[in-house]
Structure 1
Amino acid sequence: MYTYTTVREIADSLNLEILNEGNLDLKIDIPNIYQIGYELVGFLDKDSDELNRYINICSLKESRFMATFSKERKEKVISEYMALDFPALIFSKDAIIAEEFYYYAKKYNKNILLSNEKASVTVRKLKFFLSRALSIEEEYEDYSLMEIHGVGVLMTGYSNARKGVMIELLERGHRMITDKNLVIRRIGENDLLGYNGKKKVKLGHFYLEDIQNGSVDVTDHFGVKSTRIEKKINILIVLEEWKEKEFYDRLGLDTQYETFVGEKIQKFVIPVRKGRNLAVIIETAALSFRLKRMGHNTPLEFLNKSQEIIQKKKKEREENMNTNSLAVTKLINEFDLEVKYGRDKVTSTYIKSSNVYRPSLSLIGFFDLIEEVSNIGIQIFSKMEFNFLEKLCPTERINNLKKFLSFDIPMIVLTEDANAPDYFFELVQKSGHILAIAPYKKSSQIIANFNNYLDSFFSETISVHGVLVELFGFGVLLTGKSGIGKSETALELIHRGHRLIADDMVKFYRDTQGDIVGKSAELPFFMEIRGLGIIDIKTLYGMSSVRLSKRLDMIIELKALDNSDYMSAPTTHLYEDVLGKPIKKRILEISSGRNAAAMVEVMVMDYMSGLLGQK
């Protein structure tokens, strides 16, 4: 409904002095203010709302300008202006008020008020007052409103689940405005303010009602910091019972809205089912809203990065590139190598072997081994190689190097302190090979680092549908049927301080120590949450909440609880083969009332105790 205020209420609220009292009970039904200007030079738009319906303001600037007028001109301008139908004229405290204003105010029965603030402050306070006093408001049943991470979150649907999640959110330190009898008021141009229109007040107490046919005194249970009178509404959460055949947004690209009092707010439809921690999901929705307001559109960023990967793979297919090869430029970027020669070839030259060699026997003229290798690996030169070359006669030295450089070597790397002689640089430059300098002094360090990187790239890999997280230093893979709650469980674990490695599709490979290591198949640190879409964990929770890869120590499969077998003892000696290595596996049965994240933590701690010999 539309509301109105009066000149009297404005004067009382802003503590304005009444210089001339006209009709103080004039109704004001438009929240706009007009600072006079053109009228001072005789331009009067007599039919405009500004001069007939708006509160008018006159500041020091306008009054000083009028002070330069002749008496006749001032008389004419003020008399014509004061004859208009504006409800009131407010002077700022520093304005110079001409006597003519008093005369014509009495003549035309005009309200003239004086502020005790400068014009800018008066305008700001008046706008704020009018936006509240003249707002449109409506009452809505079956809606709850909370403040979560500073975001006004409106919730509706699935009443039982909603009451429960509100209690958990209160326990997490968030604040309640109302759980029913919501009144939404539109203030300003496009802001919505929510409050309880029929709030039970008993010494300022707030209540959660209809909890087991009773109510919970939120103020008593959680303290005064857990409540607030009103809050600007930012997003709407609609809770609904999970429907197996229903499509739920997993990307977040198609933003949904719902209209309240003529204003749209973003809507998230969150399906409720066993194993989903709604409090964490709603908290994440609030954080995502804040992130979007800061200019980050996570779903769009995810889509753009996905398109880049698709285009890159398409280009590789068109160029018939061997997928089992690594561009030299990637190794250069990974280890910050300084390219001395062959920079124009780094993107078109590919490494096809994980082997990293020191030339050794090749420098004395024995090339049988290098000739037998179909894919020659990277060659490392250090001080030792050049010290050895200096012991050879010049002819033998040059001939052996020329023969060595005639092979198809993807890249030659020098240690930082190799101190290569000029003849070596000349021969390499003539051969057209890529020559780079590593920021390491020991060749063993270069070889170890290169081997780890190349072995992980060239090793056999598999992709598994699940979520890989790090708990207490252990890599844990959460698996289970689609929709069982893997991502939601991982999200709560992240909220508890654990770390995400990969969501949805995890790529595993065997490293040089024989361990199975998992990482994100393509785009790291993104998660898909049904109802919210794509979220960026690194941006929402910080760098400490993610890592690029992790050794796999344990698999936990999430399954719906079989009520017919709920008394059975858990199976503790299961293993699953991953790339030829047996990995410890546990089954976690999901049901209402069981906190899946807490159960996962307990299972991992139980695994830890077994390793420590405490079982």
Structure 2
Amino acid sequence: MSENRFENGLKITAFTALFDLEVLNRGSDFDTALLTITDVNRPGLQFHDFYDYFDPRRLQVIGKAEVTYLKSLTPERRRKCFDDLFLYDIPALVISRGLDCFPECLESAREHEKTLLRTQETTVDFTSHTIEYLNRELAPCVTRHGVLLDIYGEGVMITGDSGVGKSESAIELIMRGHRLVADDAVELRRISNQLIGTAPEVIRHYIELRGIGVIDVRQLFGMRAIKVESQLDLVVHFEQWDQSKFYDRLGIEDHFTEILDVQVPIITIPVRPGRNLASIVEVAAMNNRHRKFGFNAAQELARKVDQRADAGSRRQM
């Protein structure tokens, strides 16, 4: 986890540095305040004394519209608008477009010990960039053991017990031109009902091969062999071949696993000597893409078999 990211939020200090914000006033909680939700608020209604449904956890942003309205007020009324806002435990107030800060705003921020920031971006650009960044940074996250690769544009995570052959298959897939996203630990974030996978920073681009050790895929195979992140489209689970277990040979039924409340297709590949696992994973990725576009080979075969059986029955009548 990033040192700027707490389990329940993002530090205002980190946010200020990332967005290159000018600090007009450091609040008493500047070093400890957190952004905990992904939305922002423009307090136009609040300046009209409407605080119903006001969520103080949101980052507050004022732009040209709010500033134009505030200019029409008397200094006393302006001061009251900011005093009322700063009575709430807001993480910070940001002034966009590099607009001048009202003296009443600065005085109130100092008195209430609230953080006051300024950006040169337009209000729309700043709010959209902020929401996009917070949606990613504060997204629900889970770490899963496996190898995540980009195969023909499909994000495929190979899972299974240690030593079953995940990393060995991944190396062969990389040598075939596919790209590594993460090995051993895959960080998955749910963003807009999609799972986005990446590798923890410390082990990014590294892969472990028993008998050889740790290798740097980027240095060994070049930039074409790596990818920073990928959407998770398919889980391929490796397990040792069990003679007593029935394995699906047609694939008519779809199977799913749930990760962060998102349903992800999953297939189980039995592992035994002589099976080319990399080729099987490659075909599984292509087949999964075909299914997303509405083509299911197993269902098509079943349909043809049914048609042939029906035709035979009619001829016998």
Same fold (TM over 0.5): yes
Q: Given the superposition, is the C-alpha separation of residues 426 and 539 from structure 1 closer, same or farther in structure 2, using an over 3 Å criterion? A: farther
Which amino acid in the other structure matches residue 476 of structure 1?
A: V
Q: Is residue 26 of structure 2 the alignment partner of residue 325 of structure 1?
A: no
Q: Is residue 144 of structure 2 the alignment partner of residue 461 of structure 1?
A: no
Alignment partner, residue 560 of structure 1: 240
Summarize deviations over 1:190-247 as a string: whole Å, max 9, x none.
xxxxxxxxxxxxxxxxxxxxxxxxxxxxxxxxxxxxxxxxxxxxxxxxxxxxxxxxxx
Instruction: Select which of 471, 474, 477 maps to 2:151.
Output: 471
Kept in 1, the 8 Å contact 2:98–2:121? The answer is: no
- Number of residue-to-residue matches in the alignment: 293
Alignment partner, residue 26 of structure 2: 342
Measured on the aligned residues, the alpha-carbon RMSD in Å equals 3.2
Q: Given the superposition, is the C-alpha separation of residues 559 and 567 from structure 1 closer, same or farther in structure 2, using an over 3 Å criterion? A: closer
TM-score for the superposition, normalised by structure 2: 0.78
Instruction: Select which of 109, 115, 118 maps to 1:437.
Output: 118
Kept in 2, the 8 Å contact 1:555–1:584? The answer is: yes
Q: Given the superposition, is the C-alpha separation of residues 461 and 337 from structure 1 closer, same or farther in structure 2, using an over 3 Å criterion? A: same
Matched residue SS, 1:504:
strand
Alignment partner, residue 69 of structure 2: 388
Alignment partner, residue 199 of structure 2: 520
Instruction: Select which of 403, 420, 439 maps to 2:84.
Output: 403
Output the CA distance in 1 between the equivalents of 2:261 and 2:220. Answer: 36
In the TM superposition, residue 484 of structure 1 has moved relative to its aligned partner by 0.8
In the TM superposition, residue 386 of structure 1 has moved relative to its aligned partner by 0.8
Which amino acid in the other structure matches residue 193 of structure 2?
A: G
Kept in 2, the 8 Å contact 1:338–1:438? The answer is: yes
Output the CA distance in 2 between the equivalents of 1:439 and 1:547. Answer: 32
Output the CA distance in 2 between the equivalents of 1:596 and 1:478. Answer: 11
In the TM superposition, residue 522 of structure 1 has moved relative to its aligned partner by 5.6
Q: Given the superposition, is the C-alpha separation of residues 436 and 421 from structure 1 closer, same or farther in structure 2, using an over 3 Å criterion? A: closer
In the TM superposition, residue 599 of structure 1 has moved relative to its aligned partner by 1.9
Q: Is residue 277 of structure 2 the alignment partner of residue 596 of structure 1?
A: yes
Output the CA distance in 1 between the equivalents of 2:269 and 2:257. Answer: 15
Kept in 2, the 8 Å contact 1:478–1:555? The answer is: yes
Q: Is residue 47 of structure 2 the alignment partner of residue 367 of structure 1?
A: no
Kept in 2, the 8 Å contact 1:382–1:418? The answer is: no
Matched residue SS, 2:237:
strand
Q: Given the superposition, is the C-alpha separation of residues 468 and 350 from structure 1 closer, same or farther in structure 2, using an over 3 Å criterion? A: same
Output the CA distance in 2 between the equivalents of 1:447 and 1:555. Answer: 35
Instruction: Select which of 253, 256, 263 maps to 1:582.
Output: 263
Alignment partner, residue 280 of structure 1: none
Which amino acid in the other structure matches residue 378 of structure 1?
A: L
Q: Is residue 216 of structure 2 the alignment partner of residue 536 of structure 1?
A: yes
Which amino acid in the other structure matches residue 145 of structure 2?
A: H
Which amino acid in the other structure matches residue 528 of structure 1?
A: E
In the TM superposition, residue 490 of structure 1 has moved relative to its aligned partner by 1.9
Computing the radius of gyration from Cα coordinates, the structure with the larger value is 1
Kept in 2, the 8 Å contact 1:484–1:560? The answer is: yes
Which amino acid in the other structure matches residue 85 of structure 2?
A: F
Which amino acid in the other structure matches residue 400 of structure 1?
A: C
Output the CA distance in 2 between the equivalents of 1:347 and 1:495. Answer: 47
Higher relative contact order (CA 8 A, sep 6+): 2
Which amino acid in the other structure matches residue 538 of structure 1?
A: R
Summarize deviations over 1:108-159 as a string: whole Å, max 9, x none.
xxxxxxxxxxxxxxxxxxxxxxxxxxxxxxxxxxxxxxxxxxxxxxxxxxxx
Q: Given the superposition, is the C-alpha separation of residues 603 and 435 from structure 1 closer, same or farther in structure 2, using an over 3 Å criterion? A: same
Q: Given the superposition, is the C-alpha separation of residues 381 and 614 from structure 1 closer, same or farther in structure 2, using an over 3 Å criterion? A: same
Which amino acid in the other structure matches residue 141 of structure 2?
A: T
Output the CA distance in 2 between the equivalents of 1:393 and 1:517. Answer: 50
Alignment partner, residue 159 of structure 1: none
Output the CA distance in 1 between the equivalents of 2:177 and 2:286. Answer: 15
Q: Given the superposition, is the C-alpha separation of residues 609 and 369 from structure 1 closer, same or farther in structure 2, using an over 3 Å criterion? A: closer
Kept in 2, the 8 Å contact 1:527–1:536? The answer is: yes
Q: Given the superposition, is the C-alpha separation of residues 536 and 352 from structure 1 closer, same or farther in structure 2, using an over 3 Å criterion? A: same
Q: Given the superposition, is the C-alpha separation of residues 345 and 546 from structure 1 closer, same or farther in structure 2, using an over 3 Å criterion? A: farther
Matched residue SS, 1:326:
strand
TM-score for the superposition, normalised by structure 1: 0.43
In the TM superposition, residue 595 of structure 1 has moved relative to its aligned partner by 2.7
In the TM superposition, residue 322 of structure 1 has moved relative to its aligned partner by 6.5
In the TM superposition, residue 580 of structure 1 has moved relative to its aligned partner by 1.8
Which amino acid in the other structure matches residue 395 of structure 1?
A: E
